[in-house]
Each structure stands twice: as C-alpha cells, then as structure tokens.
Structure 1
Amino acid sequence: MKDSKVSKIPYGHVGIIVHKSCKDLGEKIDGHLADRRKWEFNQSNSKYFLEALKDSYVIDSDIIRFSNGEAKGILNETIRGKDIFIIADVGNYSIKYNMFGTENRMSPDDHFQDIKRMISAIAGKARRISVIMPMLYEGRQDKRNSRESLDCAMALQELENLGVENIFTFDAHETRVQNAIPLIGFESLHSTYQIIKSMVETQNELQVDKSKLLVISPDTGAMDRAIYYASVLGLDVGLFYKRRDYKKIVNGKNPIIQHEYMGSKVAGKDVLIVDDMIASGESVFDIARELKQKDAENIYVAVSFALFTEGIDKMDEYYKKGIIKKLFSTNLTYIPEKFKQADWFQEVDMSQLIATLIDKVNYDDSISPLLDATDKIKKFLQKKG
C-alpha cells in the first residue's frame, strides 16, 4: 500500500441513532454508508484514513416505555466525541405502546419527544449532533395566518436549544421556517432525481417529450416544484388553483369548492402531477378526474410523502377505472405493506442519498451537489435519450 497524504479527516467518528420509527430506512442507510466508506478506503489507497471501517455505524440505543405512558431514552454504548446523526420518522403511525393496559399509536408529538429524549441521553458527550427528520415535524403548520400556534418554528428552536447543530429534512412545506433558527444548519433536500429516475426506468411507455407529457401543479403552493420538474424535463407546466369557502372550516381547513385549471391543452397528453405530499388525497383525485374529462391520456402522480390519511380505497378505485396510472412516492416516511403491494404504487428508495449526506457532512464536504440535482438529472436523461 502506497503512503499518501491524509485526504479524509472526519469531524468525529460517525454514529447513527436510528429510532424504531425509521428502522427499515435506517438499516438501508447504514448499509450504504458502510459500503461507501469501504469503497472510499480502497480508492484512496491510504493507511491514514483516520476512521475505523465498520460493517455498521448504528449506535445501540432504545426508548423504554413505562406502563403509565412515560418513557426514557437509553444509550447502550459510548458516544463520547462522536459525530452523531439521529434519524427519526415522525410520521410513522404503525409504532404502538401500552398505557394503562390500552394500546396506543405513536403520534408525531410522541416521535418528536423521543428525539429530545435521545438528545438528553447523549448529555453533551457527543462532539456534534445532527437530526435527520425526513418529514419535518409540524411542517404543515409552518406559518401564522391568524391568532394560532407556530408549532414548526417552536420545535426547531427546541432542537437548537438542546444543542443540535444541523437539521436535515426533505421537501419542507415552507423552507422559510428556517428563519426561526438562523444560527444553525437547516437544509431541505429534494427527491426529484430519484423520482424521475424511477419513472423513466419503470414506465417504458412514458415519453419525456413536450408534445406528449405535461407537468401539472395541483395548487399555487406547489408551483415552484412543478416549474422545476418542467424545466429539467423540458416540458410545459399547468396549474390548478383551489377556490375555497372561507366561511367554513372543516377538519381545520377551508373546504375546496372547485379546482380551476390554467395552462395548455391536456387532450391526448400524458400528465405528471407533482406535489410534496398526499394527505387525504381528495385534491389529487379531483384534479385527476377533471384532467380525464379534458381527455388526458395517462395520469402519473409524484410525491415525497404518500400518507392517505383516509385510506386507499378511493385510490384503488381510480386505478381500476384507469383515471390514475401510477403513484411514485419515497420511503422517507412509513409505507404500509398494502401500499407496497398495490399495482398503482411505485416506491422510490432514498436511503443512498441520505447515506451520502451523512458521509459528506461527517467529512465537512460540500453538500451542494445533493441540494441541486439539475446536472445529474440532465446527464441521466441524455444517457437514456
């Protein structure tokens, strides 16, 4: 082995704390990180790598629950001087616990409390703490429209006060919420490249051509995302805007009266609807139905988070009727097995991107290439073209 200068100096030995809410994704991230480090070591050909290569970087930890619902975080190995990354999925409603003999599902509030418990267990012994929260806690309550709480900003400030130095999330509903924590790192990454790659590789009949494919934004809030998709794919973009009844509030929202479309003709074209998430799915269903009435061909939907809070019966119905052809969504939040088994669902794996993020942050490398994948998307399309 040739001697060479030190080219990789980590901020500290990396350690990953994976919450139960993120177990499957965390295992994939850990595997990719271990493979990446071994590959880098072989490429560098250096005995001065300054990092012990491991098969796993996951820290042995646990959250213990008492019968009255209280809990505590426990670390079963040393984290002193390590660069710690805490990974948690606050949207995982499949995790359950017993309280007074009753089985309860964990809410986003419970998951966020567990993040704070683990930071408390670290007790300042780690060299640096970063939190990777793929779906941002309280991200839907990110701005104040009247006399109401500002939960997301308060949560971010709590993490800052607990000593967290970096917060990473994906497709934040409103990135300006980072103004609440201007002195620490906050990055919102995107799943655009992985979704486009999955679409092109799995949908053979899909043609990325301006005359055959149109990008649609389901509302004004998703317009920037739709414009980005359209720009990198070289397509036209259309917009639906929601006319709401501001005299009523149903389930915390003003009900939608009608969706109005603005844009070029959709007749005879495939359509790609893009958004950050599907909650109940009603907006997407209404838009897909109207697009079919305008003689659109195949309708595809691409989101980072597919929640379907009201169940997937209607999605099954729209697939069987030929209204929606395929839904692309990431594994950044919990996906029930019945979603994965559905013919209309295509899972997009994000674990390799997160492993790369951890590796780069640990070595204080620039993560700019991970924040803007435009060149990567164009090279992929040229290769496929």
Structure 2
Amino acid sequence: MNITKQTRDKQCHTVEFNTFTFSGGEEHVRLTDIATDDITSITIQTNLTSSAAIMQLFMAVDAAKRLYGDKPDYHLVIPYFPYARQDRVCVEGEALAAKVMADLINNMGFTTVTIWDAHSDVTPALIDRVRNLPQTHIIEHAPKLSEAITTGAVTLVAPDAGAAKKTINVAKHFNAAVPPVQAEKVRDVATGAILSTSVNGDISGKDVLIVDDICDGGRTFIELAKVLKHQGASTISLYVTHGIFSKGLDVFEDLIETIYTTDSFNCTERFTQSTATTKLVVINV
C-alpha cells in the first residue's frame, strides 16, 4: 500500500505508516504523519490481492479521515478489483460478490476510484465515481509491444468469446496491420475442464499475441498455445493485465515464450527468482 498527500502548492508527499496483524487476525494501521491545514487530497494505491490487504485499506481510510478530516479529496487506485470474476449469480444461494465488494468500497466515500481493465462492464457499473483504465491505456506503456501490434509484427488472438471485445478494441486502438484471430473453447460446465479449443484463422508462420485480462492457473492459455503451435505459429506471447499465475510460470514452458502483464498481483516481487524459461515482462503504468 502506498499513501500520498497533495498540498495546496501542488506538492506530493509520501505518508508514512506502519501495519501489523494482531494474533487474533485483526489488521492494524497507524499513519505516522502530522496533519496540516494545507492538504487538498489523499491518494491510496494498493493491490487488493488478499483479505488482509482489503482490511488494511479500510483501516487506512478510517485512520486518514481521523487524522486529516473530511476536507481533503480521497482517491483510491486499486489495479485489480477483488471479486470481479464473481459478477453474476450462477447458482441459487450464491452471493453477488462483486456487488458486495463494490458496496464496501462505495461506503468509504472516495472522490474517485481508479481500477485497471475491469473484467466486465458489471464492475464499473457497481462502483461510484469510477475510472476504468482500459487495456489500450496499459499497453501504451509498453512501446515495443504497441509498435508490434501496429505494424503487424504480431497477430492478436482472442482466447475465447469473452475476450473478443477487448481484443478487437486493442486492434482498433493501435490500427493493427493484421486483423485479430478468434479462438473458441468448450468447457465442461460441471467440472470447469476445457474439453476442446479451436482457432478460427490462419496463424501459420506468424508470431501471435494472446490478449486477455486475467490469468489464474493458465489452463485456457496453455491449451490454446498447444493448438496454435500445432497450426504452425512461429512464436506465442501472452498479454494479461492481471497475472495471478497461481500455478507459477513453469506451466507455460515450451509453449509461451513471453508474458506481458502489470504488477497488480506483485509479479515483480513474486517471480524475481523464477527459473522458468518463459520471460515475464512487467509493464509499469
């Protein structure tokens, strides 16, 4: 978590704080700053990748408002919005988890809430005063990748129907010289297993870039990469805004050469010592 304050002279200063977890599991946050009357805004940026991080955020907001009062604007930047994938009730008796999380955030009364590449249109619709940075904005921070898309050095591949809209938007934004290719997958709804994957286009001899928003264990991309290789793709790369990589990077060995992602799941820290041959490129936004 990073907390900054801006003063009337437009100067930004880091707000120091300390945290610890009580033996009962409760989170504690204390800001070690001195309140002054020239503070115009407070910005908190944090990766909400655990329940502890979520509670630390709520404690930090309460601590800040007790220290600085309600006069400053309060801005929140959370690259990955937690529970975004649970944006519908699939089975009776389930919670609409994305709304539960949005209600908690909204109750904090932020002036603005910035998220990166929302999983679907549902999440931004649930959050008050939200700013959703699209994939295109993030990819712009990777000039070489942007150029490869524009010139047609890579062919974009949408891994499934859900990623089609985002992939088409990337192609249009960068005026891609080569139209994107659509892939399809069939899942077993009972087990979640991928039964088959198909690619609707000619990728023989091409360098391809799979585009999506989230990679968890990576099964979708692994199965797709196998098909792309079988159909003659020269190289396979992957762009995902949010790299959870719960199975590590080794699962992509000999299939995906390079993965582009952000640090929304602390990839820089988690994979510094990785010996995987798949290259991880973290885009700084």
Q: Identify if the C-alpha distance between structure 1 residues 226 and 66 changes in structure 2 by more than 3 Å, giving closer, same or farther.
A: same
* Residue matched to 1:287: 224
Structure 1 vs Structure 2: percent identity of aligned residues?
20
* Residue matched to 1:332: 264
- Alpha-carbon distance between aligned partners in 1 of 2:14 and 2:260, rounded to the nearest angstrom: 29
- Alpha-carbon distance between aligned partners in 2 of 1:299 and 1:207, rounded to the nearest angstrom: 14
- Alpha-carbon distance between aligned partners in 2 of 1:166 and 1:133, rounded to the nearest angstrom: 11
Question: Cα RMSD (Å) of the superposition?
Answer: 2.8
Consecutive unaligned residues in structure 1, runs of 5 or more: 1-16, 20-29, 35-48, 92-107, 351-385
Residue correspondences, number: 274
Q: Identify if the C-alpha distance between structure 1 residues 244 and 131 changes in structure 2 by more than 3 Å, giving closer, same or farther.
A: same
Task: Compute the displacement of 1:186 (Å).
Answer: 0.8
* 1:258 match: secondary structure: strand
Q: Identify if the C-alpha distance between structure 1 residues 133 and 296 changes in structure 2 by more than 3 Å, giving closer, same or farther.
A: same
* Residue matched to 1:226: 167
- Alpha-carbon distance between aligned partners in 2 of 1:273 and 1:114, rounded to the nearest angstrom: 35
Consecutive unaligned residues in structure 2, runs of 5 or more: none
* Residue matched to 2:184: 241
Task: Compute the displacement of 1:174 (Å).
Answer: 1.3
Task: Compute the displacement of 1:339 (Å).
Answer: 4.6
* Residue matched to 1:267: 204
For residues 154-208 of structure 1, give each alpha carbon's deviation from its aligned partner in whole angstroms, at most 9, with x where no partner exists.
1111222222232111011013223334xx31111034355356362799xx585
Task: Compute the displacement of 1:259 (Å).
Answer: 1.2
* Residue matched to 1:365: none
Contact 1:340 1:346 in 2 (8 A): no
Contact 2:73 2:111 in 1 (8 A): yes
User: 1:72 and 2:28 equivalent?
Assistant: yes
Q: Match for 2:118 among 172, 175, 179?
A: 172
* 1:236 match: secondary structure: coil
**What letter corresponds to residue 110 of structure 1 in structure 2?**
A
Task: Compute the displacement of 1:209 (Å).
Answer: 4.1
User: 1:137 and 2:82 equivalent?
Assistant: yes
* Residue matched to 1:157: 103
For residues 214-245 of structure 1, give each alpha carbon's deviation from its aligned partner in whole angstroms, at most 9, with x where no partner exists.
21001111111110222222321111222111
* Residue matched to 2:62: 120
* 1:138 match: secondary structure: coil
TM-score w.r.t. the length of structure 1 is 0.64
TM-score w.r.t. the length of structure 2 is 0.85
User: 1:89 and 2:26 equivalent?
Assistant: no
User: 1:18 and 2:5 equivalent?
Assistant: no
User: 1:258 and 2:214 equivalent?
Assistant: no
* 2:180 match: secondary structure: strand
Query: Greater CA radius of gyration, 1 or 2?
Result: 1
Task: Compute the displacement of 1:333 (Å).
Answer: 2.6
Q: Return the structure number with greater helix share.
A: 1
**What letter corresponds to residue 346 of structure 1 in structure 2?**
V
Q: Identify if the C-alpha distance between structure 1 residues 152 and 171 changes in structure 2 by more than 3 Å, giving closer, same or farther.
A: same
For residues 99-119 of structure 1, give each alpha carbon's deviation from its aligned partner in whole angstroms, at most 9, with x where no partner exists.
xxxxxxxxx222111111111
**What letter corresponds to residue 223 of structure 2 in structure 1?**
D
Q: Identify if the C-alpha distance between structure 1 residues 82 and 52 changes in structure 2 by more than 3 Å, giving closer, same or farther.
A: closer
Q: Match for 1:217 among 127, 150, 158?
A: 158
Q: Match for 2:243 among 297, 301, 306?
A: 306
Contact 2:257 2:278 in 1 (8 A): no
Contact 2:257 2:277 in 1 (8 A): no
For residues 65-121 of structure 1, give each alpha carbon's deviation from its aligned partner in whole angstroms, at most 9, with x where no partner exists.
222222222122245654111111112xxxxxxxxxxxxxxxx22211111111121
